[in-house]
């Protein structure tokens, strides 16, 4: 209660929250601005029927389904950030040097990330538009009789400009709002799909001619399951293993110290699922955009292998998540680097010798934690697929109604981080008043 009182009595924090809400509202308005020259009516239905594009549409806050200038949204920037982050891991030396140069190096990396993001946005936009045009026999408005590549390039540039605006809006939230601008835009896109889910469930189970006792029970059961999964994800995202740390220059008995090295249960976050779903989606999107049949021939086998709703595709999906989870966890929490930093700080783990023994100890512990974290991640990724089969969801209902899913990790993670930032900012103001 004291923390809530501190938040709602702090004018600066309330001001930042208000600015954030206004900026997000402006972003949502842009979602409804269509791309010029494009035949919206011809393509909207196709996007909602295509499984891969429907998932992208949910993450973009329905911007892709509206064929909006914000259709690409902030996703190219996220992809670019992940790529640059991976390249900093001793792959490109200059990037590693920039990462060690403090604030000046951080600005260089941010500038490079934005450039890469805009290049990716243009390539993705152009491929998407050309694919949609090929799939539907033309993506442009009917009065353009002879579509040329220049028309597609123009529309791709408009969508790229939309990504640039999304990056700018994210920076505004980070600078003038409550922070986490990029993450807030992702969450805003995910949260906007929740009303569609509730509407679909209401129509399916409550609205006449439905509304029998079994239908009402299923509606309540699905809502309770969603709440239960949300609580479970929140608890597990907060779970961490704390390794006690002591410093060589602090004598024993000179006061209690709470220094520790925390390792999260889900160290890799949603990155393994994003990588796995991206790899699987590329062949499927090619099949969808080239109008190949999924009932025979090459299209059939590609659908069986890469569609995670089929048995072979599901197993491949789980295996990829497991591999990427271990790879990314050890990449982000490098035991050798951690052991080296402890030695430089004159710190050590009680009962463990510094150096190689510390590295081995952290590696073994991280491996055990990653096993548990990977199982949690695989269950969460499998929940929407399994529950869709159990409840018999099909078509637009299956696309709108999801129980579990990795989007929950994003929403919960951003929510927890945002709450901590708000509490920290309000607490800082309280301390300033004391002095």
Within-domain flag for 250: no
Within-domain flag for 310: no
Q: How far apart are CA 216 and CA 371, in angstroms?
A: 39
Q: What is the pLDDT of residues 179-202, one digit of tens each?
A: 778 888 888 877 877 887 888 888
Dihedrals φ, ψ of 192, to 5°? -65, -15
Rounded to a whole number of angstroms, the CA Rg of the chain reads: 24
Q: Do the beta carbons of residue 406 and residue 383 sit within 8 Å?
A: no
∠ CA(173), CA(416), CA(56), 5° rounding?
65
CA atoms within 13 A on the CB side of 77: 26
Within-domain flag for 133: yes
3-state secondary structure (DSSP) of residue 143: coil
Within-domain flag for 257: no
What pLDDT, on the 0 to 100 scale, is given for residue 365? 92
Q: How far apart are CA 162 and CA 152, in angstroms?
A: 15
| Residue 211 confidence (pLDDT) above 80 | no
Please report the DSSP string for 74-135 in residue order: THHHHHHHHHHHHHTTTTSHHHHHHHTSTHHHHHHHHHHHHHHHHHHHHHHHHHHHHHHHHH
The CATH number of the domain holding residue 137 is 1.10.3370.10
Residue 297 is given by DSSP the state H
Q: Do the beta carbons of residue 64 and residue 32 sit within 8 Å?
A: no
Structure tokens at 269: 């976050």
Q: Do the beta carbons of residue 76 and residue 121 sit within 8 Å?
A: yes
Within-domain flag for 51: yes
Burial of 74 (0-12, 13-18, 19+ CB in 10 A): buried
Within-domain flag for 322: no
Q: How far apart are CA 412 and CA 260, in angstroms?
A: 24
Minimum mean pLDDT among 11-20, 209-218, 325-334: which range?
209-218
Q: Do the beta carbons of residue 53 and residue 64 sit within 8 Å?
A: yes
Round the average pLDDT of the chain to a whole number and report it: 80
What pLDDT, on the 0 to 100 scale, is given for residue 157? 94
Sign of the alpha-carbon torsion through 35, 39, 44, 47: negative
Q: What is the pLDDT of residues 276-300, one digit of tens each?
A: 877 887 777 677 666 666 677 777 7
The range of the structural domain enclosing residue 69 comes to: 1-192
Sign of the alpha-carbon torsion through 10, 15, 18, 23: negative
203 vs 364 pLDDT, higher one: 364
Count of structural domains within the chain: 1
Q: How far apart are CA 237 and CA 229, in angstroms?
A: 12
Instruction: Enumerate the β-bridge partners of residue 34.
Output: 68
Within-domain flag for 223: no
Within-domain flag for 39: yes
| Residue 434 confidence (pLDDT) above 60 | no
| Residue 423 confidence (pLDDT) above 80 | no
Q: What is the pLDDT of residues 101-138, one digit of tens each?
A: 778 888 888 899 999 999 999 998 888 888 777 666 56
Q: How far apart are CA 18 and CA 26, in angstroms?
A: 13
Among 125, 134, 58, smallest CA distance to 286 is for 134
Residue labelled with tokens 């923390």: 3
Q: What is the pLDDT of residues 349-406, one digit of tens each?
A: 888 888 888 889 999 999 999 999 999 989 988 888 888 888 888 766 776 777 777 7
């Amino acid at each position: 209660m004291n923390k809530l009182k501190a938040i709602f009595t702090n004018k600066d924090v309330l001001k930042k929250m208000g600015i954030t809400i206004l900026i997000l509202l402006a972003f949502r308005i842009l979602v409804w601005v269509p791309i010029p020259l494009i035949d919206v009516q011809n393509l909207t239905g196709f996007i909602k029927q295509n499984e891969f594009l429907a998932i992208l549409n949910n993450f973009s806050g329905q911007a892709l389904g509206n064929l909006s200038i914000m259709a690409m949204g902030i996703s190219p920037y996220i992809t670019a950030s992940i790529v640059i982050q991976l390249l900093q891991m001793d792959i490109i030396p200059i990037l590693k040097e920039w990462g060690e140069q403090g604030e000046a190096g951080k600005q260089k990396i941010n500038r490079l990330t934005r450039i890469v993001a805009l290049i990716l946005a243009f390539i993705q936009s152009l491929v998407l538009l050309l694919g949609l045009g090929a799939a539907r026999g033309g993506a442009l408005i009917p009065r353009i009789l002879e579509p040329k590549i220049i028309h597609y390039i123009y529309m791709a540039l408009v969508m790229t400009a939309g990504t640039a605006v999304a990056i700018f809006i994210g920076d505004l939230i980070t600078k003038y709002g409550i922070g986490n601008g990029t993450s807030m835009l992702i969450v805003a896109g995910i949260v906007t799909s929740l009303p569609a889910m509730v509407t679909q469930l209401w129509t399916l189970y409550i609205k006449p001619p439905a509304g029998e006792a079994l239908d009402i029970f299923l509606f309540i059961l699905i809502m309770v399951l969603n709440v239960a999964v949300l609580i479970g994800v929140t608890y597990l995202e907060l779970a961490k293993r704390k390794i006690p740390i002591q410093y060589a220059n602090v004598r024993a008995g000179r006061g209690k110290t709470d220094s520790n090295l925390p390792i999260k249960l889900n160290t890799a976050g949603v990155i393994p699922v994003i990588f796995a779903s991206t790899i699987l989606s590329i062949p499927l999107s090619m099949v969808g955009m080239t109008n190949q049949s999924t009932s025979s021939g090459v299209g059939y086998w590609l659908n069986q292998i890469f569609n995670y709703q089929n048995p072979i595709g599901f197993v491949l999906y789980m295996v990829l998540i497991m591999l990427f989870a271990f790879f990314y966890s050890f990449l982000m929490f490098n035991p050798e680097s951690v052991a080296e930093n402890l030695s430089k700080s004159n710190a050590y783990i009680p009962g463990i010798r510094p150096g190689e023994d510390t590295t081995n100890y952290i590696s073994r512990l991280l491996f055990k934690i990653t096993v548990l974290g990977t199982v949690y991640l695989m269950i969460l990724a499998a929940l929407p697929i399994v529950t869709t089969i159990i409840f018999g969801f099909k078509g637009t209902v299956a696309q709108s109604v999801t129980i579990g899913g990795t989007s929950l990790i994003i929403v919960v993670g951003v929510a927890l981080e945002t709450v901590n930032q708000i509490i920290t900012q309000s607490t800082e103001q309280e301390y300033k008043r004391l002095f």
